[in-house]
Each structure stands twice: as structure tokens, then as C-alpha cells.
Amino acid sequence: MAEDLTSLITGLGFPNIEAFLALMFLVLAIFGVIVVISTLRPVLSMFPYTYPNARVRARIGRIFNEKQFQEIIEAGSIEEVKNYLRGYPDYAKYIDQYPLEKALDTQLAENYDLIARITPENSRAAFRFLLKKWDIKNIKSIIIAKEAGLTAEETIDLIVPFGDLTDKLDALIDADNINEILNTMEGTEYTPILEDAIPIYQETGKLLPLEASLDKYLLKNLLTTVATPEDDNTSHLKTYVGNMVDGANLKIILRAKVDGLKYEDIEPYMISAGYQIREWKLKDLMESEDVAGVVNGLEGTEYAPLLAEALATYNETGSISDFEIALDNNVVETAKKISLKNQFGIGPMIGFLSRKEKEIKNLKIIVRGKREEGFTPAMIKEMLV
Amino acid sequence: MVEVALGTALAAIGAGMAVGFAGLGSGLGQGIAAAGSVGAVAEDEDMFARGIIFTALPETQAIYGFLIAILLMVFTIMANKALPVTTGLVAIGAGAAIGFAGLGSGMGQGITAASSVGAVVENEDMFARGIIFTALSETQAIYGFLIAILLMVFGGILG
């Protein structure tokens, strides 16, 4: 047999069997390297997400289900709601430390903070930037508190101890007036926004321009952070952020149309680099005559069917809350789709944040319902998102 | 310098491939499963034992590769005889069979194990189903192991 093999190999033009084997090994080695690299690449792209996803999925498992929500809704008082939440370690550590709503916000912020810390390098910048939403919430709360004449102790109850401004929070809370707040904020990224928006707020007493300017800063820069996706994961993150940006733009346009505002009034608050709804389309929508015009102008986009349904309700009630709910639900649905489609990547983290936001929103609705007189469990359940 | 026959050298390559590639797959798979388990344990300390079980599953591929490599070494290299080239080629075939099967199986099992750890930490009832899904990827390594044994038996290395 060995002789047959040798004669076959020499018949192929090789001087001896060693030369043939050397060539065969070279070919096999190249083939092996190609196989190994092409097999390893997708596996290695999943690897950085394994640890964060396991942590996130553990927290997904602790999100309240329908039965648990029903039990909370049926609580007889705020104190009973607190007692219920004390039974869950995620909430227990904050319930006795802070007023209830601050405890809920802090728990949510803690989850944002965790994700920003454990997410892989290529998506960390976006999640870190998302943490600024707590800075923005705190700035708004402090300004409102100062204008309402709240004491430092009362203001502290509104502040969430997360974000980049934590070292300035004490000074901001102790500030005597808005000018002192501006001085304390000097040198931060928020100074130019506040310098423009605070005089308008003081002049008109309306918080919306200030809120819109701060929200615009957050979303615009968030969109810039995810603008150039490196891979599937960052591309999904861009889709999620993009939907948030489009939703925010549409909400502002719809609110402005209800108030009869013109293009020039709305334009400063728009995030011009929208995601699906680009600059030219936004301009068209801003120039629409009324709410119906905005909805009709969205024809051909995925927002048209969503908002068309809400338009019918708006025509009956005159309330734009259905539009806002539809747009918020669209972001939640996007997160859900991403979490199902991208289970080994960024999906679980996006899905978790979206579900956690929803949980906290619902808990706050329940708390407010319990605080007000005359809200039955059935009425509260109806209000949940 | 010790003179090594070409056939014996080929058998050595076969043994190296068996344990090398199977170990690579097993190591990667175990690393992925361990990363998931560490994440789960960080959230829930009771997950430690279950995390260890899922992390240990992708170890088997390395064991198969190690076994085949030992057999190849005992029956060829350590047998102190000059092996024919054809027997050496059979040894490479056996090593490649368990090596590559172990590589794919180990990585696949690691991914499923990490995913199962995530599912169990989310919902405890998923443990048994997670084990079943994770064990499915074992079959490819078993095929590779069986073929490696058959190659050695009928290729004149064993028996």
C-alpha cells in the first residue's frame, strides 16, 4: 500500500513523499487558519456581552409581573405599597432612605449606572451619556424648587443621587436663587443651555422651553454618540436612540400644533438630525397647519399608522396624550424587537432598560393614585402604561 | 538528535491536533459560560452551583481530545517503533476528527451554556431545559470522538 501511495505521489510530479506531505500540510494549515478565524469571529463578538447580559437577565427576572402589579394596586395605602416594596431587595435599600418617588427614581438610575459600567467598550460612551438624563432631571428639579421657594431639605427629596453633577449637587441645592445656580454650574456642559433658557423661563414662567432645551441637548448628543455604528450591536443601539429622537421631535411638534405655535417657535427645540424623520421632513411637519396636518405629513413612515389611530381619539377629546402614549409605546416595541433579535449582544440591555422604565413609570402611577382621594384599584389599573 | 520516523512525526501532529483544537473550542466555550455564570452569581449568589454545572459542561470536548491524543501517543509514538507514513496519516485523520468537532462543539456549548445561565437566573424553572439545550451541542463532539476511535481501530493503530 505504501508503495502504491509513493508511486501515485511521484506520478503527480513530486520528487518524494516528504515534498507532497509538506505541500499538503501547508494547504491544510491555511485551510485550518481560515476555518478557525471564521468560526472565532462571531463567537468573540458575543463574548464581551456574556457577563453583562447574565446580570441584566437576572434583573429582568426581578421585574414585577402582572400578578405582582395587581397586588400593589390593591394595596390599601401608600404605606402598604412601601411595605410591599420592602420585600424586594432592589427597592428595600432605598425605600427607608428616601421618599417613595425618589426611591423609585434612584432604583431606576442605579440600573442605568450599572449598565453604563458593565456594558462593553463599544457601547459604553452611549450608555454613559444616557446617565446625563439624571443630571437634567436634577437641574430641572432644582430650578423648579428654587422658583417655588422650597427649602434645601425639600429640594433634596427631589434629587436623584446619580449622574455627572453629583459633586455639585450640595452647592446647587444650597443656592439661594437661579443666578447662584448658574454660577455653580459655570464650566459645565449645561452652562450655555441654561444661560439661554433660564431668562425665557423667568420671563414666561413656562418650564417647557427649558425642558425642551435640556432634552434636546441630551438626545442630540446621544444620537451623535451612536452615529457611526461599528457592528450589529451599536447599529441596534442607534435604532433605539433614533426612535427616541424621532419620538421626542414628534411630541414637540404635536404639542406646539395644539398650542397653535409656528415654525419659528418650534424650530429651536428640534433635533434637526432626526433618525427616520430627517431635517426636510421635520421642516414640513413644523410648517403644518394643525395636528391632523402633522399626522398626514407622516404618510409613508412607520409613524403614520401609529398616530392615525391616536388622531381619532384626539379629534374626540382634544388631548394629545394618546399621541404621546403611541410614541412611547413605539420606543418600547423597538426595544422589545431588538432584545429578541439580538439576544447575544446588546439586545437584553436595551430591552431591560425599556422594561425597567415602564415598571418605574407604573409604580409612580400607582403611588400617585394611592395619594389622591377617590382612585379605585380599577381606575389605577386603567392608567398603567 | 533523536531520529523520528516520518509516520511517527505525523502521528505526533495528529495527537497535537486532537488536544489542541478540542482544547481551543472547550476553552473558549468554557470562558463564555464562565463569564455568564460570574454575571449571574454577581446578581444572585445562589446561582454559584448551577453556574459551575453549566461552566463545566464544555469541559468534555477537551477530555475527548485529551483521550484521543493519549491513545495516539501510547499506541504510536511511545510504542518505540518506526510507523509507516500511512499510519501517521490515519493518526492525523483521527486527531482532526476530534479536534475540529471539539472546536465547534465546545464553542457552541459555551454559548448555549451562557444563555442558559441567563435564562435560569431570570427564571429558576429553566434549569432542566437549559441543561438539555446545552447538552445537545455535545453530540458533534461525540461524533468526532467515535470517528477518531474507529479510524484508529480500522487504521491499524488500535488493536
Q: What is the pLDDT of residue B159?
A: 72
d(CA B95, CA A144): 73
pLDDT digit string, tens, across residues A269-309: 888 877 888 888 888 888 888 888 999 888 888 888 888 88
d(CA A37, CA A127): 30
Per CB distance under 8 Å, which residues of B are interface residues toward A?
Answer: 6, 10, 13, 21, 24, 28, 31-32, 35-40, 42-44, 47, 84-86, 100, 103-104, 107, 110-111, 114-115, 117-119, 121-123
Q: What is the pLDDT of residue A185?
A: 87
Q: Are A250 and A277 in contact (CB under 8 A)?
A: yes
Give A174-180's long-range contacts (Cβ < 8 A, gap of 24+).
A175/A142, A175/A146, A177/A146, A178/A143, A178/A146, A178/A147, A178/A202
Given a cut of 70, whether residue A44 has pLDDT beyond it is yes
Residues of chain B with Cβ-Cβ distance to A115 below 8 Å are none
d(CA A312, CA A325): 14
Mutate to test the interface with B, among A39, A57, A119 (most CBs of B within 10 A): A57
Q: Which three cell numbers stand for residue A276?
A: 427616520
The reported pTM is 0.85
The answer to whether the Cβ–Cβ distance between B121 and A61 falls below 8 Å is yes
pLDDT digit string, tens, across residues A313-327: 888 888 888 899 899
pLDDT digit string, tens, across residues A113-135: 999 999 999 889 999 999 999 99
Given a cut of 70, whether residue A1 has pLDDT beyond it is no
pLDDT digit string, tens, across residues A344-380: 899 999 999 999 999 999 999 999 999 887 788 899 9
Query: Is the complex ipTM higher than 0.85?
Result: no
- For range B82-92, the mean pLDDT: 90
Determine if residue A159 is left, alpha or beta; phi over 0 gives left, psi from -120 to 50 gives alpha, anything else beta.
Answer: beta
A63 touches chain B (CB under 8 A): no
Q: Are A52 and A120 in contact (CB under 8 A)?
A: yes
Q: Which residue has the cell 465547534?
A: B104
pLDDT digit string, tens, across residues A198-215: 888 778 877 777 888 888
Mutate to test the interface with A, among B21, B41, B43, B54 (most CBs of A within 10 A): B43
Q: Are B121 and B43 in contact (CB under 8 A)?
A: yes
Q: Which three-class secondary structure string do you get for chain A? A: CHHHHHHHHHHCCCCCHHHHHHHHHHHHHHHHHHHHHHHHHHHHHHHHHHHHHHHHHHHHHCCCCHHHHHHHHCCCCHHHHHHHHHCCHHHHHHHCCCCHHHHHHHHHHHHHHHHHHHCCHHHHHHHHHHCHHHHHHHHHHHHHHHHHCCCHHHHHCCCCCCCCCCCCHHHHHHCCCHHHHHHHHCCCCCHHHHHHHHHHHHHHCCCHHHHHHHHHHHHHHHHHHCCCCCCHHHHHHHHHHHHHHHHHHHHHHHHHHHCCCCHHHHHHHCCCCCCCCCHHHHHHHHCCCCHHHHHHHCCCCCHHHHHHHHHHHHHHHCCCHHHHHHHHHHHHHHHHHHHHHCCCCCHHHHHHHHHHHHHHHHHHHHHHHHHCCCCCHHHHHHHCC
d(CA A299, CA A242): 19
Sign of CA dihedral A308, A223, A256, A317: positive
A21 touches chain B (CB under 8 A): yes
Q: What is the pLDDT of residue B28?
A: 93
pLDDT band at A256 (very low <50, low <70, confident <90, very high): confident
Residues of chain B with Cβ-Cβ distance to A36 below 8 Å are 21, 24, 103
Given a cut of 70, whether residue B150 has pLDDT beyond it is yes
Q: What is the pLDDT of residue B19?
A: 97
Q: Which three-class secondary structure string do you get for chain B? A: CCCCCHHHHHHHHHHHHHHHHHHHHHHHHHHHHHHHHHHHHHHCHHHHHHHHHHHHCCHHHHHHHHHHHHHHHHHCHHHCCCCCHHHHHHHHHHHHHHHHHHHHHHHHHHHHHHHHHHHHHHCHHHHHHHHHHHHHCHHHHHHHHHHHHHHHHHCCCCC
Q: What is the pLDDT of residue A373?
A: 79
CA A223 to chain B, closest CA, distance in angstroms equals 29
Q: Are A312 and A322 in contact (CB under 8 A)?
A: no
d(CA A37, CA B133): 26
Q: What is the pLDDT of residue B1?
A: 59
d(CA A87, CA A245): 37
The answer to whether the Cβ–Cβ distance between A51 and B6 falls below 8 Å is no
Q: What is the pLDDT of residue A313?
A: 85
Given a cut of 80, whether residue A5 has pLDDT beyond it is no
Output the average pLDDT for chain A: 88
Q: Which residue has the cell 434549569?
A: B127
Cα-only R_g, chain B? 18
Q: Which of A240-244, A268-272, B113-117, B149-153 has the lowest mean pLDDT?
A: A268-272
Burial string for B7-34 (b: 16+ CB within 10 Å, else e) reads: bbbbbbbbbbbbbbbbbbbbbbbbbbbb
Q: What is the pLDDT of residue B41?
A: 93
Better pLDDT: A267 or A92: A92
Among A17, A40, A46, select the one facing B111 at the smallest CB separation.
A46
Q: What is the pLDDT of residue A51?
A: 93
- B98, amino acid identity: I
Q: Which three cell numbers stand for residue A340?
A: 429578541
Count of beta carbons in the 10 Å neighbourhood of residue A32: 17
Q: What is the pLDDT of residue B13?
A: 92
Given a cut of 80, whether residue B2 has pLDDT beyond it is no
Phi, psi of A273 (to 5 degrees): -85, 65
d(CA A283, CA A280): 5
Determine if residue A380 is left, alpha or beta; phi over 0 gives left, psi from -120 to 50 gives alpha, anything else beta.
Answer: alpha
Share of chain A above pLDDT 90, in %: 40
